[in-house]
Structure 1
Amino acid sequence: MLSKPLIDPSTTQPAAAGNFTYLALGDSYTIGEAVKQAESFPYQLQNLLKAKNLAVANPKIIAVTGWTTDELQGAIKKEALTNTYSFVTLLIGVNNQYRGYPISTYRKEFAELLQTAIAFAGGDKNKVFVVSIPDWGATPFGQNSGKSPQTIANEIDAFNAANQEITLAAGVSYTNITPASRNAATNPSLIAGDGLHPSGKMYSEWADALLPKVAAVLK
């Protein structure tokens, strides 16, 4: 997110053998900026599913730190994926908020990305899982960003209100991790070493929240 260097999504590990496939779409929160790959929420989710005897291949990740909705759209087109996946996660929008992009643009592009995610899930909306945007204002970086944490929180809430409305209207699962992300303001263990991104511990909470939903679809 924000000013961190870009990471080439092609550097993610090749898919390991598994009965199920997983596509993760997003930004720094999906690649797990500032933590080990194994600590990112897609890889923690994969391991939790494996523990339930659901053999999920290593996730295919299309995500780069700093991406907005339009940049994710462009990257998906560039990847030119032709296969479908057993399930798809989508978490995008923090950089739209950070850059001050209008919510009207976000609504349009998020809705398009959601339909793209459904297409990658073989047209099955039950296999798509949207995750809300966490509140970076609760981090040390956010608290020293020059914008009040409450202002950031209000803007994050507005973007999440938009993505939640669109997600639920499409009949897609929505996982709201935002309230818990605000615990970072009083719990430093939830923050990665860069003072901005979630730690593996916070990502484990996201994976735990997604686990029963995804497992129910795969069984």
Structure 2
Amino acid sequence: MNGDPPAALSPQAGYLADVTQPHGYTVLSLGDSTGVGVGAESGGGYPQRLLRRLAGVHPGARLVMLAQSGATTADVLEAQLPRAKRSPADLVLLGIGINDVGLQLPEESFSFNLEQIAVGLAAVRAPVVISNIPDLALAPVAQRLDRAHYEKRIQLYNTHIEATAARHHFAHVDMFAASRRLFGTPGLFCADGFHPSAAGYDAWADAMWPTVRQIAAGAAAAATGTR
């Protein structure tokens, strides 16, 4: 509960580890259902898939999963960020905004919450990789919506994500552009037509991996004193 330390998922055994114990390279994941992996038949969301790749750079790397299905920026600010501040971390993954868009929350609230999250993450003292919102207007479920309006709103929110990333020197991954490049690829969505499938999360991790790998490799080089 509120006083408990966060738990971390071991990439080797898939168990919950006590983050108060000595640790290796630790990744914090903040966000929504895409962090949790809703829709995937197996393998989890993009953080779990990135973690398996990170094991090649940092053996024993582990994941502290703070993301929650259905979360908005307000939920990250109120529930996830306080736990993040209590956890050791070497890298933070932040993917949020999909539910803010879907619930049509005010743009001003989204921008304010995101800025407060970014300010709070300074206390974690770890590099942050933030991804913007994919073009969900291309999702099968969006066929019954006004796609042009939905897409315009996503782009507006993404403007705030990109500006926040620039202000706080976060690494930014353009999932909006990546999703457009993948449009028409079969099998990327699960049966609900909204959440990614296992293949969709693989594609998501593919888009994020170059940025994550660069940060992780830099940390590994610093730890060994190499360049």
What TM-score does the superposition give when structure 2 sets the normalisation length?
0.79
Distance 1:214-1:186 versus aligned 2 partners, 3 A rule: closer
Which stretches of structure 1, 4 residues or more, deviate above 3 A after TM superposition? 9-13, 15-18, 77-81, 182-185
In structure 2, the partner of 1:14 is 16
- For 1:166, the aligned partner's letter is T
Secondary structure, aligned partner of 1:188: coil
Give the distance between the partners of 1:194 and 1:153, measured in 2 at CA.
19
- Rounded to whole Å, the distance in 1 between the matches of 2:7 and 2:115 is 26
1:131 equivalent to 2:131? Answer yes
Unmatched 5+ residue regions in structure 1? Answer: 1-8
CA distance in 2, matches of 1:113, 1:37: 30
**Given the superposition, is the C-alpha separation of residues 142 and 113 from structure 1 closer, same or farther in structure 2, using an over 3 Å criterion?**
same
Q: Which residue of 1 aligns with 2:37?
A: 32
Answer yes or no: is 1:44 the counterpart of 2:49.
yes
Deviation at 1:186, TM superposition (A): 2.0
Question: Are residue 191 (structure 1) and residue 196 (structure 2) matched?
Answer: no
* Structure 1 contact 39–204 (Cα < 8 Å) conserved: no
Secondary structure of the residue that 1:160 maps to in structure 2?
A: helix
Paired amino acid for 1:94: I
Q: CA RMSD in A?
A: 2.5
| CA distance in structure 1 between the partners assigned to 2:46 and 2:60 by the alignment | 14
AA matched with 1:197: H
Per the alignment, do residues 158 and 183 of structure 1 end up closer, same or farther by CA in structure 2, a change over 3 Å counting? same
Distance 2:46 2:98 in 1: 17
Query: Where does structure 2 lack aligned partners over 5 or more consecutive residues?
Result: 1-5, 10-14, 221-227
SS in 2 for 1:189: coil
Aligned to 2:214: 216
User: Are residues 1:149 and 2:147 paired?
Assistant: yes
Structure 1 position 83, deviation (Å): 2.6
Q: How many residues align?
A: 204
